[in-house]
């Protein structure tokens, strides 16, 4: 990842995003021509299932990139399967019940490079958002801190352990768990003199999945806190909400 971002712009532009598609090199969360852009370069690819991969966006330089990503993707999927089993057990439902909702374990990855910014307090590295996923494994790749989460209305800085994953609960797990696990709003700030890099691996339902609280939880709770929605409709709402925090999620509440 470091070597990819270090290349001259021209080399990275070979992988530029195309209209209507998030894959490739560029900026995400662009909703209007008047907004300030995030102080970051992003690179997004689909990893799983393997037939969702578009190798046109997989850099051939550095030469080890593809093999490294393949291995990373496999291990991340394995870890997330374990975590989803633990979460299911924690909620007192069948251990496989959550995992079943992520059939084929769709997975994608956003690598983000935040250049240093002299006026760091005036720039936003990554705008506040929740992840539209089940679970996200986030790795802060070069030891520079910058992630913040919104807790009780206040931004709290996260001090990540070196080499450890930060596990973020996403919108879909909040819905499936009927609100037991809350999707965390987060953002990234930038540093005045140091660059920062992060890699987020997202685990989401398949495109044609319908998402709603697990029936066994609804039965126990006596009500479903969220209505049923197709995953692609959910994604459309996610982007239409223009990153207004958790609005897209709150609007699903019945």
Ligand X SMILES: O=C(O)CCC(=O)C(=O)O
38 binds Fe ion (CB under 5 A): no
x-marked contacts with ligand X along 56-95 as a string, rule CB under 6 A: ----------------------------------------
132 binds ligand X (CB under 6 A): no
Of 31-39, 114-122, 131-139, 211-219, which segment contacts Fe ion by CB under 5 A?
Answer: 131-139
Q: What span, in angstroms and rounded, lies between the C-alpha atoms of 111 and 190? A: 15
The least CB distance from residue 147 to ligand X, in Å, is 4
The least CB distance from residue 189 to ligand X, in Å, is 9
**At residue 145, what are phi and psi to the nearest 5 degrees?**
-75, 160
| Tokens 């089993």 found at | 85
249 binds ligand X (CB under 6 A): no
Q: What span, in angstroms and rounded, lies between the C-alpha atoms of 248 and 251? A: 5
Q: Which of 142, 2, 141, 3 is nearest to 62 (CA)?
A: 3
Q: Which of 111, 132, 105, 106 is nearest to 44 (CA)?
A: 111
Residue 147: name its binding partner from Fe ion, ligand X, none (Cβ under 5 to 8 Å by kind): ligand X
Is there a contact between 210 and 230 (Cβ–Cβ < 8 Å)? Answer: yes
The shares of helix, strand and coil residues in the chain, as percent rounded to the nearest 5, are 30, 25, 45
Residue 243: name its binding partner from Fe ion, ligand X, none (Cβ under 5 to 8 Å by kind): none
Of 53-61, 83-91, 140-148, 236-244, which segment contacts ligand X by CB under 6 A?
Answer: 140-148
Q: What's the Cα-to-Cα distance from 108 to each of 24, 86, 134, 221, 252, rounded to whole Å? A: 12, 22, 12, 32, 24
131 binds Fe ion (CB under 5 A): yes
Q: Which is nearer to ligand X, 188 or 252 (CB)?
A: 188
Chain positions contacting ligand X, by CB under 6 A: 110, 112, 126, 131, 138, 140, 146-147, 186, 188, 198, 200
């Amino acid at each position: 990842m470091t070597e990819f971002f270090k290349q001259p712009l021209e080399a990275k532009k070979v992988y530029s995003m195309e209209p209507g598609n998030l894959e490739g090199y560029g900026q995400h969360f662009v909703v209007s021509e008047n907004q300030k852009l995030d102080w970051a370069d992003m690179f997004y690819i689909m990893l799983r299932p393997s037939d969702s991969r578009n190798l046109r966006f997989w850099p051939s330089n550095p030469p080890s990139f593809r093999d490294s990503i393949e291995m990373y993707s496999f291990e991340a999927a394995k870890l997330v399967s374990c975590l989803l089993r633990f979460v299911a057990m924690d909620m007192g439902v069948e251990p496989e019940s959550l995992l079943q909702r992520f059939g084929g374990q769709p997975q994608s990855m956003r690598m983000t490079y935040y250049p240093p910014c002299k006026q760091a307090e005036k720039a936003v590295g990554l705008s506040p958002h929740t992840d539209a996923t089940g679970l996200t494994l986030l790795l802060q790749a070069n030891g520079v801190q910058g992630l913040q989460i919104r807790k009780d209305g206040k931004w709290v800085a996260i001090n990540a352990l070196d080499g450890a994953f930060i596990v973020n609960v996403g919108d879909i797990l909040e819905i499936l768990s009927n609100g037991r696990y809350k999707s965390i709003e987060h953002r990234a700030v930038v540093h005045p003199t140091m660059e920062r890099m992060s890699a987020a691996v997202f685990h989401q339902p398949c495109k044609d999945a319908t998402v709603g609280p697990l029936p066994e939880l609804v039965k126990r709770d006596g009500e479903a806190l969220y209505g049923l929605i197709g995953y692609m409709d959910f994604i459309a709402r996610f982007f239409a909400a223009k990153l207004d925090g958790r609005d897209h999620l709150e609007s699903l509440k019945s």
